[in-house]
Each structure stands twice: as structure tokens, then as C-alpha cells.
Amino acid sequence: MKILVIGGGGREHALAWKIRQSRSVEELFCSPGNAGIAEIADCPPLASSDPDAVAEFVARQGIDLTVVGPELPLVQGIADKILAKGRAVFGPTAGAARLEGSKAFSKEFMRRHKIPTGDFEVFDDAEAAMRYIDTHEVPLVVKADGLAAGKGVVIAETREQAREAVQKLMIQKAFGGAGRTVVIEECLFGREASFFAITDGSRVIPLVTCQDYKRIYDDDKGPNTGGMGSYSPALHLDRDVTRLVLEKVVGPTIRGIAEEGHPYRGVLYVGLMLTKDGPKVLEYNCRFGDPETQVILPRLKSDLVPLLAAAAHGDLSQVRVEWRREAAVCVILASQGYPGHYQKGKKISDLESFAGRQDVVVFHAGTRTGPGGEIRTAGGRVLGVTALGRDISQARENAYAAASQITFSGAQYRKDIAAHVAGVAPDGE
């Protein structure tokens, strides 16, 4: 098979790494890729923001399966363009990707299909939004309807903060068209959890549980990032919660979106709040999470390609998935200053010693190859160091031992990834 992966972060390196191990792969392309991906795939410079150009490449090269990493091309309809060329794609069409692309659509979808979520109202008019704030209890959550790179959500503790958020999104248009419509939502309390499942439009294969860390500093301090680490399994998502999420959320979502004429083929992420009244949906994503993929795929024993291809072709009935018993921990190494301003071009040393290691994989995110063949930093999040271990403690120890061996000027990473769950046995899957 000829496979194309779209994207160039740690998520795409993890996908390309696992796809490369498949016996069914003859050629692997990844665009734009990064320095790590370029070691295992051809990286043609396609503009993923131009779905027509990608579809053209897919048709010309005879690509059998395209795997789309990021949400933006999916929301813009890259899958539709590839399907129109008669080629298979892992990732939902624009119609199904609205579950992530529009928060107003996804909340109204949940209401239509009785999927548990916080109470809400949708506003196109700032005056009406302000009136709603005046008559409802705080805290309230104000969300931009469209994609805003994870920055379009404000948890407002006071009415003043809620009004400021509406002002910023709807009047000052801080996120452009993404804030033309806003959702104002009840604030939910409990523990957050993520859930990933692969679906062919009707059948569902849940992936192993995992947990990511979004804040830049230890103890969940500082601003949000694209993710600073993750671990798997996530012990708070036990069998009972998983069953409930499949029955009350994932099943009705997959059936509902198909009934509305947009069968969903790809990976569905559900962000949940485990409230005292049961799991409630915070959001959907229509693709793999970045740090999560870097712990999920190293735990996958089976070949990834038949799983992705079967979902893309709409028939998962023959696919069986096996997982390793080992736990996995991923620590993200970022540039100094990230998620604010940071410098690029720092030389990264001591990466070679991890080549061929079974228990440690270093996934590249913001990296590029320098003129002398050396690897240099080229982004905010630079590397994801994933280690396996017999339990979370062991995996954590292995990941930090490896992370401490890699150096580049200004490297920063969290020291508390999986710290609070270390020592708990990985069962419940």
C-alpha cells in the first residue's frame, strides 16, 4: 500500500512510526513532516491548507490511504476532496467534522440526540448574550463557535468576566469569524477524562485510555499549550465508566451523525467531565490528540494499517486489536519561552542513542535537519519522549531518564507527568 500522512507534529511522527512497521506498506509519504518523520517517510511539501492540491497528489501518486492528523484540513473538507478522487481517507468528511469545527453545531447535535452535556444557549447577537449572562448564575463558560486553537474557551467566575469574554469574541472579534457565534454553557464540575474510539460509521473500537497535561508548568500552572505530556492507561476511566461512555455518548454520537447524513469514519475524541450525575461531554475532536497518540500507539501490539484502512473503507467487522500490557508515559520537551515567544534553530544532541531502543521512542514535533545533517529545533514543542514500563512508575522512570539525556539550549519540560498515578497497577482495561 501507498500511504500519505498529513501533518508534521509528534502525533504524525507517532502515526508514521507505527505505519512504517506494517508489512502492508510499500511507500510512506508525510506532508509537511519534520526531521524525525523524514527518516522514515518521503516528505513532499504539500499545502494541507489547500485540500485540492492534496487530493491532486493523492490521485497522481495512487495513494491507497490518506491519514489526516490535524483538525483544520478535516473541517475544511480534505476528506471530501480525496473521496471525490475515489481514494480512501482516514478522517471524517467536513459534514461529520462539524462536531469539532462548530461548537454550536455540536451542542445542538447533543441536544437533538439526548447525549449528556452541560445546559447551554447559542448566540449570534452580543446583546442577547449579555442579557443571558445577567440572568444566569456564574460560573459560566463562554466558547467561540469556530476553531480557535484551543484559546476560544473562557471559564468566567463572575458576570463581569463573562461579559468581557463576549465583548472580546463577538465585538472585538479576537478570533475573527470563529467568534461570530458563541455558546454560553453551564459550568460542569468533576474530573476531566478523554476517550478515543475508531469508527467506520457504525461500529466502534475503543482505544486504550490515556490522560494528557495541557498546562506548561508543574501542578497544572501557567498557560495552556498543545500538550506537555501524557500517560496510558488512565486509571480513573475504569470499565464501568468506559461502558457508560460507550453506551450514552459514543454510540448515540456515531448513530446520530450517520442519521444526519454524515457517517463518521476516523477517530472520534470525546472530552468528558465525570460529574456526580455521570459523564457529560465537554467537546468532540475529530482526530487524534497530539500527546495522547504518543502513548496510545506505542501500546498498540497489532498492525495499525488494517485498522485505519478498515475504518476508512467502512468495515471494521473483521478487525481485532491487541494491546501491550505495559504502561506508557510521554514527556514533551519544549523550547524556552513556549507557549509565548521562543527561539528556533538550537542544536539537539544525543538523539542517536535512542535508535533501535524497544522501550523508549523519541517522537519529533518542531524539528528540522540543519545543513550539516544535525537536528535543530524548529517549533515550540520539540520532542515527545515516550517510554514503556511494566507499570506507570517504571514507564515514568524510563521516560524521565531518557528526557534528561537529550539536550538543547533552553529545553524545558514538566517534572510531574504521571507523578500522582505512579505506583498504581495498570488494570481495568
- Judged by the rule CB under 6 A, the positions of this chain that interact with ligand AMP are 118, 141, 143, 153, 155, 185-188, 192, 271, 282-283
Least distance to ligand AMP from the beta carbon of 192, Å?
6
Helix axis angle, 304-312 relative to 10-20, nearest 10°? Answer: 110
Closer residue to ligand AMP (CB): 189 or 240: 189
Closer residue to ligand AMP (CB): 241 or 422: 241
Residue 326 three-state SS: coil
Closer residue to ligand AMP (CB): 65 or 282: 282
Residue 35 has which C-alpha cell?
526531521
**Cβ–Cβ < 8 Å for 416, 400:** no
Task: Name the residue among 154, 164, 156 with its Cα closest to residue 137.
Answer: 156
Cis peptide before 233 (omega within 30 of 0): yes
Closer residue to ligand AMP (CB): 154 or 305: 154
In the beta sheet, which residues pair with residue 270? 195, 284
Least distance to ligand AMP from the beta carbon of 25, Å?
34
Least distance to ligand AMP from the beta carbon of 281, Å?
9
Residues of 416-425 as b/e, b for ≥16 C-beta within 10 angstroms? ebbbebbeee
For residue 137, give the DSSP letter. P
Closer residue to ligand AMP (CB): 5 or 141: 141
Alpha-carbon distance of 252 to 229, in angstroms, equals: 30
Least distance to ligand AMP from the beta carbon of 187, Å?
4
Closer residue to ligand AMP (CB): 141 or 330: 141
Least distance to ligand AMP from the beta carbon of 143, Å?
6
Cβ neighbours of residue 379 closer than 8 Å, sequence gap 6 or more: 335, 344, 365, 366, 367
Residue 246, amino acid: L
Query: What H or E segment, with its residue span, contains residue 231?
Result: strand 221-232
Closer residue to ligand AMP (CB): 149 or 171: 149
Least distance to ligand AMP from the beta carbon of 186, Å?
6
Closer residue to ligand AMP (CB): 155 or 205: 155
Closer residue to ligand AMP (CB): 188 or 311: 188
Residue 137, amino acid: E
Which residue in this structure is represented by grid cell 495499525? Answer: 304
Residue 377 three-state SS: strand
Q: Are strands 140-144 and 182-186 parallel, antiparallel or unpaired?
A: antiparallel
Q: In what order do the strands lie in the sheet with 65-68?
A: 27-32, 2-7, 65-68, 88-90
Query: What H or E segment, with its residue span, contains residue 128?
Result: helix 126-134
Least distance to ligand AMP from the beta carbon of 204, Å?
21
Least distance to ligand AMP from the beta carbon of 73, Å?
19
Residue 182 has which C-alpha cell?
458563541
Tell me which residue has its CB nearest to ligand AMP: 283
Closer residue to ligand AMP (CB): 210 or 305: 210
Least distance to ligand AMP from the beta carbon of 202, Å?
26
Least distance to ligand AMP from the beta carbon of 109, Å?
14
